[in-house]
Chains A and B, each alone.
Chain A
Amino acid sequence: MQITVKDLNFTYSARTPFERHALKGVNLTINEGDFLGIIGHTGSGKSTFIMHLNGLYKLQSGEIDVFDVKLVPDKKNKSDLRRLRGTVGMVFQYPEYQLFEDTVEKDVAFGPKNMGLDAEEVQRRVKRAIELVGLDYEDIKDRAPFELSGGQKRRVAIAGIIAMQPKVLILDEPTAGLDPYGKEQILSLITHLKEECSPTVIVISHDVDEITRFASRIVVFNDGKVMFDLPMNELFRHAEELHAVGLEIPRAVRIAEKLKKRGVELEGDIVSLNDLLHAVVVAYNKKHIDETVDENVNFSAFEFDLNGSACGGKKEDDR
């Protein structure tokens, strides 16, 4: 099963003074089980692209095939779109703004109800979705969404998508506006959901340091085109090109480069801060074993992991 996008073009406000060519011949294949990160600055076309994946924009030109649901321009097929929206779950930016029901349970039930499922199945799915996002079903189901904290609201909004059991989960800036702790919780939740519920996950993020923590493959959008489509560890070898289009590189990559310029070469691919820590320790051990054998500290005995700090992830699920 795959998502294939062929020669996708999209123009906003065509034939008006505000015409803007947002996607220019995008080709991309996303495989089942991918953990894909999409980066690109504001206006690069990344959001326009993902909106196409569950049929929120009418296809203007090109072809899209999402797990055997085929979309072509000028073909009206309501049942295809329905199937597509059941396959691809989309969590927008600030999804908590979309909560509207008077209880959490009703809000989460909205999606599955609209899919035409029977009441029993809806209730089962709602319970499971709420539990999957790490909330206590009995405790929260009758509460009003508006009295919850920001992080809880976002979880409820995500549960509303999960309740439809999408095979593909797309999240647009899932941690925007949260405090460091809230960010960590959402990041570990996404990993958890990939394992438990939606095996294919696509995340859009501005924060490259964040994306290095989970994505295995990264697509870079620039000016409506796919600029790079590479495994994480290869992407940041193109640091200068990324910089030229106004994208940041992860802090660990930057520090490793600075060290290299000063004559300190670290071993291995360094993308995340954990990579950097490990490489520093390896280099330190090498040098200091040579110099002071007796006083050598066995650094390998330390478990280095930045997870759990503000710039790392939380390893144990504390949901």
Chain B
Amino acid sequence: MAIPAIKLENVSFSYPVSEGEEHKAVDCVSLEIEEGTFVALVGHNGSGKSTLAKLLNGLLIPTGGRVLVYGVDTDDEKRIFDVRSSVGMVFQNPDNQMIATNVEDDIAFGPENLGVPREEIISRVDWALEKVGMSEFRHATPFKMSGGQKQRLAIAGVLAIKPRVMVLDESTAMLDPKGRDEVMKVVRQLNREEKMTVVHITHYMDEALEADRLIVMNDGRIVLDGKPADVFAEHELLTRIKLGVPCVTQLAVTLHEAGMAVDPRITDEEALVDSLCKLL
């Protein structure tokens, strides 16, 4: 079997709270992510999901266990740049991720720092802009753009490093519905066309539905891990840990519990409409 893109072996991470006191944000997590999968990661605030994300490219080093990125230990200081060029990160606030006054320079920043030759940088910038559908903005300034555009730009900046894994840490949280759609479309395409491994952290259950695999965290541990439809079938557990299921599933569950012949595992709006048409 090929080496997994990312492998976590009994990983723990604690933040120091005050003297002698620690908060265990990630608690003994083991996990393998195959190359090319689209993984969604959900959990309420404080469940440890953002800490987990930062462990994936060595922004944080585990206080217990180890993280392997294509077999490389993130704790190996000599190879941290290999890790960072394999795993790109996109954060929540698009404004905090822009460093240059024009789009081209902003995207070139990553490869420049890696010492990529000029010709190669130019072609990477072209390619990255095309992938996020922003080619026409090449000479524009990022500051006047919409949130969705800025976030696509942030993705292009990460793409120019040519990572094999992209981690999105609530990258859609601050966007309006249109911006969210734009970003999700780009991410989906990268996953399908470029076979990019994606780890998408989100609060939107409807976005989580689009993933190949859904991981649910609570109290620093993984509590559910599987296909989204199977995970959402555990609606009682999800509600108990202060999450929820997608709206369509919630409707289906409520009708099912009242005794109607509606499959409580429905996640798709069309499927719900189909089954209601049969009943009504």
Contact = CB atoms under 8 A, between A and B. Distances in A.
Contacts of A254: 269
Contacts of A73: none
A284 B260 contact: yes
Interface stretch (B80-88, B122-130, B192-200, B241-249): B241-249
Interface stretch (A22-30, A126-134, A220-228, A302-310): A302-310
A277 B243 CA distance: 21
B44 interface: yes
Interface stretch (A75-83, A162-170, A229-237, A255-263): A255-263
Contact of A180 (B92, B205, B251, B255): B205
Size range of the interface on A?
35 or more
A182 B44 CA distance: 8
B243 A181 contact: yes
A299 B277 CA distance: 18
Contact of B44 (A179, A246, A309): A179
Contacts of A281: 258
B179 interface: yes
A259 B273 contact: yes
A206 interface: yes
B71 interface: no
Contacts of B46: 149
Nearest to B259: A297
A41 interface: yes
B247 A251 contact: yes
B224 to A, nearest CB: 15
Interface of A: 18, 41-43, 149-151, 176-182, 206-207, 209, 246, 248, 251, 254-255, 258-259, 262-264, 273, 276-277, 280-281, 283-284, 287, 297, 299, 302, 304, 306, 309-312
Interface of B: 43-46, 92, 144, 146-147, 170, 173-174, 176-179, 203, 205, 239, 242-248, 250-251, 254-255, 258-260, 269-270, 272-273, 276-277, 279-280
